[in-house]
Amino acid sequence: MFNTPALVAEITALADAYEKALGENDLVALDAFFHDGPETVRYGVGENLYGAEEIAAFRRARSGGSPPRKVLRRAITTLGESSAVVSLEFQREGSTRIGRQMQTWVLTDKGWKIVAAHVSLMAERPETSRPAS
């Protein structure tokens, strides 16, 4: 039931394509990754978006697109043959904060689409003090 190798490979390719589109601010491609319906939800770092129209409008209003980032760790979990979750940790260029992103993908009649996404940044961690030697 979990992590059929062929399906993991397919979702991995989609996740890679999503990261490429995000880095290039390819709005047409980014819109195409999301299910085009009112039930699609994306919680961002500073916004809650309900429906594909709100998600697309947010992307178009954001100057310069998503800040450049490096993926630190990614886990892909397939659930049966028609749903998957992509979880990743990232770090934006010039930041020490760790970001997290989760996407729920479902297989629709138009291919694999994201129906739910969540992006958040972890709080800054205070530097730990070390005892004097």
User: Which pLDDT belongs to residue 127?
Assistant: 60
Matching residue, tokens 């992509």:
86
Asked if pLDDT for residue 133 goes beyond 90, the answer is no
User: Which pLDDT belongs to residue 131?
Assistant: 53
Instruction: Provide the b/e sequence for 20-57 (b: ≥16 CB within 10 Å).
Output: ebbeeebeeebbebbbeeeebbbebeeeebebbebbbe
Q: Tell me the pLDDT band of 39, cut-offs 50, 70 and 90.
A: very high
**Do 102 and 74 touch, CB atoms closer than 8 A?**
no
Phi, psi of 23, rounded to the nearest 5 degrees: -65, -30
Q: Which two tokens stand for residue 62?
A: 């954001």
Q: Tell me the pLDDT band of 75, cut-offs 50, 70 and 90.
A: very high
User: Residue range 78-87: average pLDDT?
Assistant: 97
User: Which pLDDT belongs to residue 50?
Assistant: 98
Kindly report, residue by residue over 57-72, the tens digit of the pLDDT.
999 999 888 999 999 9
As a whole-number percent, the residues of the chain with pLDDT over 70 amount to 93
Q: Tell me the pLDDT band of 116, cut-offs 50, 70 and 90.
A: very high
**Pairing status of strand 83-92 against strand 69-79:** antiparallel
Kindly report, residue by residue over 83-105, the tens digit of the pLDDT.
999 999 999 999 999 999 999 99
Q: Is 69 helix (H, G, I), strand (E, B) or coil?
A: strand
Sign of CA dihedral 109, 26, 71, 50: negative
User: Which pLDDT belongs to residue 126?
Assistant: 60
H helix count then E strand count, the chain: 3, 6
**Do 22 and 44 touch, CB atoms closer than 8 A?**
no
